[in-house]
Chain A
Amino acid sequence: MPVDVARMTKVFERPKSLTEARYTYCPGCHHGVITRIIGQTIDELGIAERTVGIAPVGCSVFAYLWYRCDAVQVAHGRASAVATGIKRARPDLVVFSYQGDGDFASIGTAESLHAANRGENITVIFVNNQIYGMTGGEMAPTTLVHQKTTTTPDGRDPATCGYPIRFSEIIATLDAPVYVTRQALYDTRRIQDCTKAVKKAFQNQVDGKGYSLVEILSTCPTNWRMSPTQANEHVANVVTQVFPLGDLVDRG
């Protein structure tokens, strides 16, 4: 018997803060889930009219296309610096940066760390998929030991390439940040936890509390050479061993 949706309650739909544009991401990529969570958060807090997103360089370079709010796309790694400028000029706005691990934890190291150390009242979404996705799957600072990438075809060798950097732990040593957490999206429970963390990170800014960072362990099925479901299992079983989940700082 066909179901008549007109007689039913709609319990989930696309957030109003997302545009109709289709994502440019590969099948199964978690960037889309994170974008949806941010859109849902903007809806729930009712802040679309005063929110500004900062798009990075990387796979999410087109992030400004997905949201029905103002956005700017900035030079590689400098999203936290531009967010600082916008927030200081217009403290009434809600400013978030959306940055990958190459952007946030490599080329943008100085800007990322010092924005956190100054305790800027911004929200940073740090998407860690342990690889440079857009440019062809090269080693990132977060790449796991022995992980094969196009620039470490025999696996990342710590003797020559160092170890994966836990950037959120570094930021957690600072006095200023009010909220630093690491989340994942490999199952629905983690997705719900991550949604709460993102909402808290935005709420902190709305309440004037200061710097919030949500690191999200994401997948790159294309460059990891895995199916989307295998990639989720890889995060659950392997990546979380190196990047443990949970709150690192919560001074909210």
Chain B
Amino acid sequence: MPRGTIVIDAERCKGCGLCIAACPQRVLAFSGSLNASGYDVARMENPEACVGCAFCALTCPDVAITVYREKKNA
């Protein structure tokens, strides 16, 4: 399995939870910490399980997620 990771722009996140529901690897969860707008932002709870599939980013209505995947033979 390729290894991936994501970066969430916490100030864009509105805490809708759609990325958490979309993640097939159950990587994401609510962080319990609020951003400046008062939303409970998502974060990687289980980062080592991320494969970089980008389902979270495709689902995110606020385009707050950037996805990275390990280079082959890196």
Contacts of B67 in A (CB 8 A): 10-13
* Number of A-B residue pairs at CB separation under 8 A: 93
**Residue pair B58, A10 in contact (C-beta under 8 Å):** no
Render A2-14 as a binary contact track against B, CB cut-off 8 A, 1 for contact: 0101011111111
A3 close to B66 (CB less than 8 A): no
Cβ-defined contact, B66 with A228, below 8 A: no
Q: Which residues of chain B from 47 to 74 have any CB-CB distance to chain A below 8 Å in the complex? A: 47, 52, 54-55, 57-63, 65-71, 74
Across-interface contacts of A9 in B (CB, < 8 A): 68-71
What is the CA–CA distance of A228 and B60 in the complex, to the nearest angstrom?
Answer: 11
B61 near A12: Cβ-Cβ < 8 Å: no
Interface size class on chain A is 20 to 34
User: Contact: B21 with A188, CB < 8 Å?
Assistant: no
Q: Which residues of B pack against A, CB within 8 Å?
A: 3-5, 7, 11-12, 14-18, 21-22, 39, 47, 52, 54-55, 57-63, 65-71, 74
**14 examples of A-B residue contacts, CB within 8 angstroms:** A5-B5, A8-B52, A8-B71, A9-B68, A11-B52, A11-B67, A11-B69, A22-B11, A27-B39, A27-B61, A33-B60, A36-B63, A188-B55, A228-B17
